[in-house]
Structure 1
């Protein structure tokens, strides 16, 4: 028995010791290496890239230059891309540079917060290793999507939320709401992670501050949301991005989507066990935090749980791990704040077992990496596009990415066939960007199309790809500029929609009346009964963009 107790004491002593200082430079070098060699850009990111190019070329914040449609979910990320691309940096590299800045800042904030409390920056080296162990984090530390900026903003928000308990002056409250508003502008659903903090701070803040001072700080902090919402309503005619209508306005109920959301959750456990284990642990600790009256930690745990519930309720996503990366970063912040002495060394063991000794980890990735894994509706998006879009291969090719859909876009721009004729496809990212600003492109998945996003999706939809059948006469209408839609109710609706999206004068009485009617539901009767849900009939042959058979 004494031998057993001695062994257990040695094990306990081992895990309670801080990590050696030499771990810090090794961790930093390894972190930078993995992030750089794993840098890639997904096809979906090029939807936003086309808007960036059109804006810089003087067409405004548009995807198709003939209409105003918010074909991006992330205004803040988009403006970051525009800022870097303004200095003649190709938008592909702008997205990677912006990602690296955000990822570096995120890692620094996590390390420095832990280091300040534990006696030195080097104490936080385990945090870098934990981040690398997450497949979701590494996958979406680049990709061209908004995830890296969301990582940074959630850490800034959590830092301010945790510090607000000690210091709740006017400036601190203002920054609390300011970071929350920036998170909303980067991706609206990320504010779910912050909502529980509003419940927690309501009472103590009301006790310490006057209603007027608190309300003033909150309003000032939320001004970016108010300004953007006002701009969006006037410029686009809607408060929310077109992508939200395309994915949430499908006429599908939660009962349709929940099974797919649970499949997404299950997939994460099978493909990315460390991320799933971390997120689940944080959620399961909620009763413990409440029992111990650790309300800040409880709010973080509840926010993670609320976000995961939301992800499941919308059917998850087709990109494996994408919507687990952000709650994972919030969990890393939470675990770092708990200050368990065993966390650093336990984290290193996880890193060694799941990353260092795993020959399939992203530590050993090459520029020719490809892993075409599919799990029902879910895909290893990085495996699908990495070989065509990764950073290391980009230096070898004059025309990059090296993908067939990008080549089809380049060909369409160089040798246009019926340049004034609209075409339709379900893969608009690469093709739309490289086909040039003058090509009229209809997205059958409705992400960039203001009309299709208001219609029912087809019966054989895929998560993240809620395809719509194109109404008869719509493609001819876009081509000619004259309304040729055959359905009488939809024809009326399209005329009204064109007033929002295509009128040259934004500030007419007729347009503002139509904005009010559209956003208050006054047009729903025109589209509510437009056809039953049917299988996808495909794109008419004469209007295909030429990316392959059927599209």
Structure 2
């Protein structure tokens, strides 16, 4: 509860400086109302000219939205996980992250496969294709919202219609952010609003079937969009259920009715989802993606879910849109409008309940983005329905004009999250991963630069197995076999039991035993494990050497290659260190006492794990053992000496 109050308090504080801008937008909304309120015989000329003006305004809104999205373009690290899967698919390794390891560490099957197909056909680099795909989906969503808003409008045919929903989508930060990012979010939002439009205006079985295809494709893009599909089927079944309710004995006959046939055609494309489910079981051996377990989606985390919901209601002023929708819901008189409102309402309830249950996510607003187009179109319709209902009654029209102002005032969002900082276990990812170049794609983040340097080492033949979290750019550009310490691509880690809750998706961490069992040689993101800093710290990215990796075991051949191809890397000289230790031990004048003996045994145990088990160097170990034996006291003791050969 304290966090919820903190979110609301922060919202009020950051909204105060925006008051002037929001009032100006409110005034602009009143102007929009005045233009929209003109009778069909007035306004910018004949109907054809009005339509031309509407199209020009829509084009301006679209271009403005694209400029806005490109100006703040970002390419998230998580997007690169899918890009690595796509590249491996194109290269013939299958839909895998590490070659030969079938783990579904992505949650966007259709998006990943489409990117792979586009790369295979065009040869264009995958990061650029991801950005272009996001922008294309963003543009299609805006145009669809404009057309859908116009078709749902209850105003007379000759009335001038402003594309309010499209304008809001082109300006609201939470939606514009996903106009790039390379994530599947914008694409699935596009499929959702296309499906909603087809569903609302479906007059026959074919229309319902097309709506079902859109919702099925959205579910193939993100499995949780089965909620959107289920909502559409439930709303589509209402006429059939109403018939049964009126005449219960007619149930069998109703199965041959047109209403039931339309429901079947709406649900039929779900076969695509079932086929993919079967393929997943055969290919990956699981019914659900590995990410489902890694992100603890099977657990209840309602405290974080309420934070996620509250922040989404506040920052983009979603609560204002809900007020506008509530005002105009009863004014949805046409069948398409009623369907749209019912679909939006039921979808919002199902999606919100699910997100609150699982804790939302750490990327602010991401999982609500596909719902935003439905909400803004519903809000636009509420405004026009209220205006139409008011007729020519002056006072009532002025009263409803306030809805235009309220809707317009939500165009500017409140900034709840500091740049590149977490708050309430969430952040705005766009502040982390700015695109600094499009041709070729370059991202302003250390992981991008680090991945490029690792890629150069990989191309030179330096290919050890590495482990880290934040695996996207490092794995894509570095190309090394990689162990994800957060478990997205590691089944054993993903199925660990949670000990505590924190940032969603970042709560399950691999144990050191799991990392060592994975035969990882280089580890990033942990403190030095077990001491011996001088032997474990290694620089793979000179000259800055940031971040620093640590060696989990020493391979002489790999280190020799690293010294050859990257002299500035300065890998540890473990052999020299061992030789110096042996010489000091051999020159020891005093016999080993209990403490000194314990230190020598610990040193040998460490070197066995770190060096001798991974290198054919039995002669050096024998020298260590002989030096140890020379340092033993002459009197009897109970210590067990080391074996003569390495374990």
Cα-to-partner distance string for 1:285-316 (whole Å, 9 max, x where unaligned): 879989x9946523321211221121111112
Is 1:162 matched up with 2:208?
Answer: no
Cα-to-partner distance string for 1:353-389 (whole Å, 9 max, x where unaligned): 5557x8x99xxxxxxxx93343231112111222xx2
Q: TM-score, normalised by structure 2?
A: 0.63
The partner residue of 2:307 within 263, 269, 275 is 263
Q: 1:433-512 residue pairs with structure 2 within 5 A?
A: 433-436=476-479, 439-459=480-500, 461-470=502-511, 472=513, 474-478=515-519
Question: Structure 1: which 5+ residue stretches go unaligned?
Answer: 1-9, 362-369, 481-535
Q: Which residue of 2 aligns with 1:79?
A: 113
Q: Which residue of 2 aligns with 1:244?
A: 292
Checking the alignment, whether the CA contact within 8 Å between 2:168 and 2:408 is kept in structure 1 is no
The partner residue of 1:233 within 281, 294, 299 is 281
Is 1:426 matched up with 2:426?
Answer: no
CA distance in structure 1 between the aligned counterparts of 2:73 and 2:549, rounded to whole angstroms: 31
Q: CA deviation at 1:432?
A: 0.8
CA distance in structure 2 between the aligned counterparts of 1:334 and 1:84, rounded to whole angstroms: 34
Is 1:193 matched up with 2:228?
Answer: yes
Q: 1:136-535 residue pairs with structure 2 within 5 A?
A: 136-164=174-202, 167-169=203-205, 171-205=206-240, 210=256, 213=261, 217=265, 220-248=268-296, 253-254=299-300, 257-273=301-317, 275-279=318-322, 282=325, 294=338, 296-338=340-382, 339-340=384-385, 342=387, 349=405, 353=409, 355=411, 371-386=419-434, 389-390=435-436, 393-395=437-439, 400-416=442-458, 419=462, 421-436=464-479, 439-459=480-500, 461-470=502-511, 472=513, 474-478=515-519
**Shift in alpha-carbon separation, 1:13–1:47, aligned structure 2, 3 A:** closer
Cα-to-partner distance string for 1:308-360 (whole Å, 9 max, x where unaligned): 1211111121111212222111112323444426499768745765557x8x9
Question: Structure 2: which 5+ residue stretches go unaligned?
Answer: 1-29, 45-52, 244-253, 389-399, 531-535, 541-545, 551-647
**Shift in alpha-carbon separation, 1:260–1:549, aligned structure 2, 3 A:** farther
The partner residue of 1:131 within 169, 176, 181 is 169
* Larger Rg computed on CA atoms: 2
Q: CA deviation at 1:74?
A: 0.8
Q: Which residue of 2 aligns with 1:507?
A: none
CA distance in structure 2 between the aligned counterparts of 1:120 and 1:15, rounded to whole angstroms: 13
Checking the alignment, whether the CA contact within 8 Å between 2:320 and 2:407 is kept in structure 1 is no
Checking the alignment, whether the CA contact within 8 Å between 2:237 and 2:263 is kept in structure 1 is no
CA distance in structure 2 between the aligned counterparts of 1:82 and 1:411, rounded to whole angstroms: 24
Secondary structure of 2:483's match?
Answer: strand
The partner residue of 2:138 within 103, 111, 134 is 103
Secondary structure of 1:340's match?
Answer: helix
CA distance in structure 1 between the aligned counterparts of 2:477 and 2:494, rounded to whole angstroms: 24
Q: TM-score, normalised by structure 1?
A: 0.73
Q: CA deviation at 1:122?
A: 7.8
**Shift in alpha-carbon separation, 1:415–1:445, aligned structure 2, 3 A:** same
The partner residue of 1:56 within 90, 95, 106 is 90
CA distance in structure 1 between the aligned counterparts of 2:222 and 2:137, rounded to whole angstroms: 15
Identify which range, 39-48 or 115-124, moves more after superposition. Answer: 115-124
Count of matched residue positions in the alignment of Structure 1 and Structure 2: 460
Secondary structure of 1:401's match?
Answer: strand
RCO higher in structure (CA 8 A, sep ≥6): 1
Identify which range, 319-328 or 345-354, moves more after superposition. Answer: 345-354
Cα-to-partner distance string for 1:223-281 (whole Å, 9 max, x where unaligned): 2112211211111111221111211267xx42xx11111112232344322x3432576
Is 1:35 matched up with 2:35?
Answer: no
**Shift in alpha-carbon separation, 1:346–1:478, aligned structure 2, 3 A:** farther
Secondary structure of 1:400's match?
Answer: strand
Q: CA deviation at 1:174?
A: 2.5
Q: CA deviation at 1:75?
A: 0.9
Cα-to-partner distance string for 1:166-192 (whole Å, 9 max, x where unaligned): x242x2332232222112111111232
Checking the alignment, whether the CA contact within 8 Å between 1:193 and 1:300 is kept in structure 2 is no
Checking the alignment, whether the CA contact within 8 Å between 1:425 and 1:545 is kept in structure 2 is no
Checking the alignment, whether the CA contact within 8 Å between 1:425 and 1:539 is kept in structure 2 is no
Q: Which residue of 1 aligns with 2:34?
A: 14
Checking the alignment, whether the CA contact within 8 Å between 1:160 and 1:172 is kept in structure 2 is yes
Secondary structure of 2:105's match?
Answer: coil
Secondary structure of 2:225's match?
Answer: helix
RMSD: 3.9
Checking the alignment, whether the CA contact within 8 Å between 2:305 and 2:358 is kept in structure 1 is yes
CA distance in structure 1 between the aligned counterparts of 2:518 and 2:377, rounded to whole angstroms: 52
**Shift in alpha-carbon separation, 1:13–1:306, aligned structure 2, 3 A:** closer
Checking the alignment, whether the CA contact within 8 Å between 1:16 and 1:341 is kept in structure 2 is no
Secondary structure of 1:318's match?
Answer: coil
